[in-house]
Structure 1
Amino acid sequence: MNRTPIYITIEQRWELNEWVRRGRPAPPPHIVKQLTIREFAEKREVRVLIETGTYYGDMVEAMKDYFSRIYSIELSRELYEKAKQRFAGDDKVKIIHGDSGIELGKLIASLDQAAVFWLDGHYSEGVTARGDKDTPIYEELTHIFNSPQKGHVIIIDDARLFGTDPAYPSIDELSRFAKAKNPNVTIEVENDNIRIVPCSQVG
């Protein structure tokens, strides 16, 4: 896959520069999250993006020109219907309704190639839906690590909540869990997200 130049708008550039000027506080602006996903996809030559937590579909919209296939899982029926309508007619986008801790396993079973996983399916108040758990992260990771396809890149949003919110595991606990599933991964935290990457693909 040829590397595509990463362009951002003047407004996004200003937002990015302002965030850097303020010392990179968490959470970062949306463009930082977009750039993280795009950079990992380019580096790994991955053409499939799987998101948990569709919300209004803004990440799908931002990423749809950079992937050949995008799947997004949303627990809220209302948000699912809105996102489904937003991307109606776009064959490369599939919005799935349900609990990502369950639906992700079904989706992964159908994969024939590696994917970038953007895990943002945790409860965050407001219009977001609340499942049996505030975060299904352990279930999501288990499905990914059990995948017959190797080389997946995992990016977990809102790292600041892990270890500070009692409903979330600490980053150390999460790291031990991931290493127990696959010792050949590197786990890093940067810009309010946790990156779990195959060791051979780091750098």
Structure 2
Amino acid sequence: MKQLLKQIIKKIPLYYPLHNWEVKRRQVKELVEWERKGKPLPPPHIVKQRTLQTYAKRFGLKILVETGTYCGDMVEAMKDSFDRIYSIELSKELYENAKGRFKGIKYIELIHGDSGLELRKIINKLNQPALFWLDSHYSAGVTARGDKDTPIYEEMEHILNVPDREHVVIIDDARLFGTDPAYPSMGELSDFIRSKRPDTDIRM
């Protein structure tokens, strides 16, 4: 009954505009609190948004590819900064929620599936460099868990296998890599990347 009520409420025309307003208000409050505390790690979502916008502007990127849609907050924040947005989500429930949130926005394409498999299909469609935001690692809660806690190797292999594309890749929470046996260390990931593309510029 509770789930049915939620579905009905989300169909009200004003639901998503009000929801988006509330999300932005909360994110600004989180930013103020983060700055007050001396900017500890991890940074709030709004800082990550600004990072993506900075790199997109610096390299003239008009396509965003995200792995790990979650609630769709990054897609919402980036929708006015890109001409085309792709986002992959493993959880069926989160994918369906995001479909409702971005219904009718033709330049936003949501994909349900494992990013380690689906990313290749998106890359094959690209005819220009893109900004990749890799955020599909398992983080408990409502997030879905695939065959691996993070498909980062598979994701990077798809990206690196395409020649002559100056893609820019940003990995969320990369500082945590190497702190869990299920995740590679940044050193291991860097070695993997350079084994595929020795000229890759890697920054941490």
TM tier, shorter chain?
0.7 to 0.9
Q: Distance in 1 between matches of 2:38 and 2:199?
A: 32
Match 1:87 to one of 94, 102, 121: 102
**What do you get for the CA RMSD once the two structures are aligned?**
1.7
Q: How far did 1:19 drift? A: 2.3
Q: What residue is the counterpart of 1:176 in the other structure?
A: 191
2:164 matches 1:141: no
Q: What residue is the counterpart of 2:77 in the other structure?
A: 62
Contact 1:113 1:149 in 2 (8 A): no
Match 1:42 to one of 34, 54, 57: 57
Q: What residue is the counterpart of 2:86 in the other structure?
A: 71
Equivalent residues in 2 for 1:121-160 (5 A)? 121-160=136-175
Using the aligned pairs only, state the percent identity: 64
Q: How far did 1:156 drift? A: 0.3
Q: Distance in 2 between matches of 1:166 and 1:25?
A: 25
Q: Going by fraction, where is strand more abundant, 1 or 2? A: 1
Structure 2 CA distance for partners of 1:180 and 1:171, relative to 1, 3 Å: same
Residue by residue, what CA displacement relative to the aligned partner does 1:69-128 show, whole Å, maximum 9, x if unpaired?
000000001111110111110011000000000000111011111100000011110100
- Structure 2 spans left out of the alignment, 5+ residues: 1-23
Residue by residue, what CA displacement relative to the aligned partner does 1:53-78 show, whole Å, maximum 9, x if unpaired?
00010000000000000000000011
Q: Going by fraction, where is helix more abundant, 1 or 2? A: 2
Structure 2 CA distance for partners of 1:70 and 1:21, relative to 1, 3 Å: same
Structure 2 CA distance for partners of 1:149 and 1:100, relative to 1, 3 Å: farther
Residue by residue, what CA displacement relative to the aligned partner does 1:40-64 show, whole Å, maximum 9, x if unpaired?
0000000000000000100000000
2:42 matches 1:52: no
- Structure 1 spans left out of the alignment, 5+ residues: 1-8, 190-203
Q: What residue is the counterpart of 2:123 in the other structure?
A: 108
Equivalent residues in 2 for 1:24-43 (5 A)? 24-43=39-58
| TM-score calculated relative to the size of structure 1 | 0.84
Q: Distance in 2 between matches of 1:131 and 1:90?
A: 28
Q: Distance in 1 between matches of 2:198 and 2:36?
A: 37
How many residues get paired? 181
Q: Distance in 2 between matches of 1:119 and 1:132?
A: 17
| TM-score calculated relative to the size of structure 2 | 0.84
Contact 1:50 1:118 in 2 (8 A): yes
